């Protein structure tokens, strides 16, 4: 039986950071259900002003928010600060997106009538947040949902509840009605109760593919509910005809090991021209050896901190060993530098000659290497996955990028840039096991409101010119 409390601890130290009693999904959904209609009835300008106040509250509390986020996730301070900045900027981006994607329009119509396109909110939307970006990613659902006139019940990850609670406190300090932004503290049981609740009108999810697929099955018999799934990736970075191998190594490290590899857009697979393999590995090894791995407040600032907890670290260590048993050749062994804490050094393993491939998202600092002899083989290797979130090509030849872009199967395709670091001012999503064609970020407006088309005339004038007998 789960305990009555959810307790959050700092990954870097193991110290207890936050604790609170588990919430009740029925109570939170009922409160949101009671409140959403009044919120939706306000003019859009009213909701815009309220959300801009929220951005100002976060700006005022940025230092405290950054510190809490860094402690709870283990992220370096510089990275936690960047996440808080995205929370602030999300408001203006969402306002622009709402106007562009779901704004009111008049459409030409015949016979003195007019055709109007407007959008309505769904009602009560549940948001399930992840631990890797515990404020940025759920906030990417919450802001557009509130802007459209929905109420939100937000359940943060049980691994990062303090950051989620702080986010909700900022909404309330800005004057967002308490009934319109509800916090559900809990673990998997509370998440399942919220997802299955009959009084939600939709679910906005960010997390693993396995959970997303289970939700997709659950909602298959509920076409009346909106379901937006933002899942993971087994993302490739392809290095081909580049003369600057140091820059290529930097892009690989940034792609694979930022946030200790705990990004859905992280590069999991490096696909490299056989001719470049040895010199690229030499550059990569030197660069990895220079990475500072430490606690969030360390000086000098670390490149990466720990993974989220010891369970995750143990799973990743076991996964690296499993890759070895499949025939992988270690290029750089993964290590646990601090006993009892979930710090990991990056692991790199050549899987070219392995007797088995694993198409899973290893959510941490593990990079698998595949050597190929032709660019067509590189694209085929990159596409050899059920996922399709992000992919990147490091190459000098624009024609190669054109070929890569045309043939790669992913929702984010980059050239001489990392696989991660997507902009909130663009859509974010993938294909296959990476999502259900409901891209978030700039396109979140699409799933937070539904279109209503009206044919309108100021008076009832009608006639029938066919199919009637003479009077």
pLDDT digits (tens, 9 = 90+) for 157-214: 999 999 999 999 999 999 999 999 999 999 999 999 999 999 999 999 999 999 999 9
pLDDT in tens, 277-295: 999 999 999 999 999 999 9
Sign of CA dihedral 449, 211, 153, 47: negative
Q: Tell me, rounded to whole angstroms, the distance of Cα 121 from its chain centroid.
A: 22
Q: Enter the tokens of residue 17.
A: 């950071």
Question: How far is the C-alpha of 361 from the C-alpha of 366, rounded, in Å?
Answer: 10
352, 274 in Cβ contact below 8 A? no
Domains of the chain: 5-231+435-456 (3.40.605.10), 235-415 (3.40.309.10)
CA angle (288 as vertex; 282, 293 as ends), nearest 5: 170
Give just the sign of the alpha carbon dihedral 136, 141, 144, 149.
Answer: negative
Residue among 357, 405, 349 nearest 384 (CA): 357
Of the candidates 241, 356, 367, 305, which has an alpha carbon nearest to the alpha carbon of residue 83?
305
Q: For residues 231 and 209, is the Cβ–Cβ distance under 8 A?
A: yes
What's this model's pTM, rounded to 2 decimal places? 0.96
Q: Coil, strand or helix: which one is 420?
A: coil
Residues 336-358: tens digit of each pLDDT: 999 999 999 999 999 999 999 99
Edge-first strand order for the sheet with 181-183 is 181-183, 151-155, 124-128, 202-206, 226-230
Q: What SS3 state is found at 384?
A: coil
Q: How do residues 431-454 score in pLDDT, each as one tens digit?
A: 999 999 999 999 999 999 999 999
**In angstroms, rounded to a whole number, what is the distance separating the alpha carbons of residues 255 and 308?**
18
Q: What is the mean pLDDT of residues 11-20?
A: 97
Q: At what angle do helices 245-257 and 274-290 cross, to 10 degrees?
A: 60
Tokens 């070219």 belong to residue: 352
Known catalytic membership, residue 264: yes
310-336 pLDDT, tens per residue? 999 999 999 999 999 999 999 999 999
Q: Annotated catalytic residue: which of 264, 283, 381, 448?
A: 264
pLDDT at 364 > cutoff 50 = yes
Cα distance from N-terminal residue to C-terminal residue, the chain: 78
% of the chain with per-residue pLDDT over 70: 100
- Where does residue 221 rank: exposed (0-12), middle (13-18), buried (19+ CB within 10 A)? exposed
Query: How big is the chain, counted in residues?
Result: 471
- How far, in Å, CA of 8 to CA of 164, rounded? 11
Mean pLDDT, the chain, rounded, equals 96
The dihedral formed by the CA atoms of 465, 466, 467 and 471, expressed in degrees to the nearest 10: 40
Query: For residue 1, is pLDDT > 60?
Result: no
pLDDT tops 80 at residue 378: yes
Asked whether the beta carbons of 149 and 121 are under 8 A apart, the reply is: yes
> How much is the pLDDT for 461?
83
For residue 309, give the nearest of 264, 346, 260, 342 by alpha carbon.
342
CA atoms in the 13 A half-sphere facing the CB of 397: 8
Burial status of residue 100 (CB atoms within 10 A of its CB: 0-12, 13-18, 19 or more): exposed
Q: Report, as an integer, the average pLDDT of 235-245.
A: 96
For residues 128 and 194, the answer to whether their CB atoms sit within 8 Å is: yes
Please name every residue paired with 237 in a beta bridge, in sequence order, or none if there are none: 270, 392
No. of helices (H) and no. of strands (E), the chain: 14, 19
Calpha distance 56→458 (Å, rounded): 44
- 243 or 111, higher pLDDT: 243
Q: Is 259 exposed, middle or buried (0-12, 13-18, 19+ CB in 10 A)?
A: buried
Q: How far apart are CA 234 and CA 390, in angstroms?
A: 8
From the candidates 28, 83, 230, 381, give the one annotated as an active-site residue: 230
């Amino acid at each position: 039986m789960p305990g009555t409390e959810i307790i959050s601890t700092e990954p870097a130290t193991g110290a207890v950071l936050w604790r609170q009693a588990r919430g009740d999904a029925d109570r939170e959904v009922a409160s949101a259900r009671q409140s959403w209609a009044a919120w939706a009835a306000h003019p859009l300008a009213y909701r815009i002003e309220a959300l801009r106040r929220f951005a100002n509250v976060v700006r005022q509390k940025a230092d405290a928010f950054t510190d809490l986020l860094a402690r709870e996730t283990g992220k370096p301070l510089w990275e936690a600060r960047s996440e808080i900045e995205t929370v602030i900027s999300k408001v203006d981006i969402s306002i622009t997106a709402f106007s562009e994607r779901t704004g009111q329009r008049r459409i030409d119509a015949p016979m003195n009538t007019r055709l109007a396109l407007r959008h309505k909110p769904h009602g009560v939307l549940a948001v399930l947040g992840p631990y890797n970006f515990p404020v940025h990613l759920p906030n990417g659902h919450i802001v557009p949902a509130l802007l459209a006139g929905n109420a939100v019940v937000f359940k943060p990850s049980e691994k990062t509840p303090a950051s989620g609670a702080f986010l909700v406190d900022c909404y309330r300090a800005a004057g967002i009605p308490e009934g319109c932004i509800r916090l559900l503290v809990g673990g998997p049981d509370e998440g399942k109760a919220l997802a299955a609740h009959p009084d939600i009108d939709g679910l906005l999810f960010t997390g693993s593919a396995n959970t997303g697929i289970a939700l997709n099955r659950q909602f298959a018999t509920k076409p009346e509910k909106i379901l937006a799934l933002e899942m993971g990736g087994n993302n490739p970075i392809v290095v081909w005809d580049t003369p600057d191998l140091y820059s290529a190594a930097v892009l690989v490290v940034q792609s694979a090991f930022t946030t200790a590899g705990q990004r859905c857009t992280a590069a999991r697979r490096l696909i490299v021209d056989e001719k470049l393999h040895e010199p690229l590995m030499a550059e990569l090894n030197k660069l990895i050896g220079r990475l500072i791995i430490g606690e969030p407040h360390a000086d000098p600032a670390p490149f990466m901190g720990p993974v989220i907890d010891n369970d995750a670290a143990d799973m990743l260590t076991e996964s690296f060993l499993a890759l070895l048993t499949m025939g992988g050749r270690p290029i750089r062994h993964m290590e646990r530098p601090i006993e009892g804490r979930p710090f990991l050094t990056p692991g790199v393993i050549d899987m070219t000659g392995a007797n088995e491939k694993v198409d899973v998202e290893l959510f941490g600092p593990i990079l698998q290497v595949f050597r190929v002899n032709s660019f067509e083989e590189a694209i085929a290797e990159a596409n050899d996955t059920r996922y399709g979130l992000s992919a990147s090509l490091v190459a000098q030849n624009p024609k190669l990028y054109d070929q890569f872009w045309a043939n790669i199967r992913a929702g984010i395709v980059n050239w001489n840039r990392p696989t991660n670091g997507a902009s909130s001012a663009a859509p974010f999503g993938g294909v296959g096991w990476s999502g259900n064609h409901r891209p978030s970020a700039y396109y979140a407006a699409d799933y937070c409101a539904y279109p209503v088309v009206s044919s309108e005339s100021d008076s009832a004038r009608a006639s029938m010119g066919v199919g009637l007998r003479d009077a």
